[in-house]
Amino acid sequence: MTALDQINRESFQRFRLRIGINHGPVIAGVIGAQKPQYDIWSNTVNVASRMDSCGVMGRVQVTENTAKVLMAAGYSCDCRGPTHVKGKGILTTYFVKTPFDERI
């Protein structure tokens, strides 16, 4: 049983997740005088957000460059293929393989 399965069982909810990941440079800082908030900005952040929004429930979607880094570190990735990414056009994206993929 995964942590998400346990949360769903105990809360009587049906939470589902999709995750988008990108890597690269970011700018980080605190904004706001009355209610300071820490935030990050950059194209890297925008693309990571798009990896999430055009992703698939239960899967981790990454950019091609991020997949290369992950595979070099020993992770397995499946090519999703050309994917329309809002504001970016067509990008080749990958799904990171996890032990839970068979359940999807």
Backbone torsions φ then ψ of 11, nearest 5 degrees? -100, -5
**In this predicted model, what pLDDT tens digit does every residue of 60-80 receive, in sequence order?**
999 999 999 999 999 999 999
Residue 41 lies in a domain: yes
The set of catalytic residues is 50, 86
- Per the domain annotation, does 103 fall within a domain? no
- Percentage of the chain beyond pLDDT 70 is 94
DSSP for residue 33: S
The domain of 48 spans 16-96
Q: Is the residue at 59 inside a domain?
A: yes
What is the rounded average pLDDT for all residues in the chain?
Answer: 90
CATH number at residue 49: 3.30.70.1230
Whole-model pTM: value is 0.80
Q: Is residue 101 part of a domain?
A: no
User: Per DSSP, which regions of 7-104 are E strands?
Assistant: 19-21, 27-31, 37-41, 60-63, 77-85, 89-96
Collect all residues with Cβ–Cβ distance below 8 Å to 74 and sequence separation of at least 6.
Answer: none
Q: Tens of pLDDT along 4-57?
A: 777 778 887 777 789 999 999 999 999 999 999 999 999 999 999 999 999 999
The reply to whether 8 falls in a domain is no
Rounded Cα gap, residues 79 and 61, in angstroms: 10
Phi, psi of 66 (to 5 degrees): -65, -40
Overall number of domains in the chain: 1
Residue 102, domain member (yes or no): no
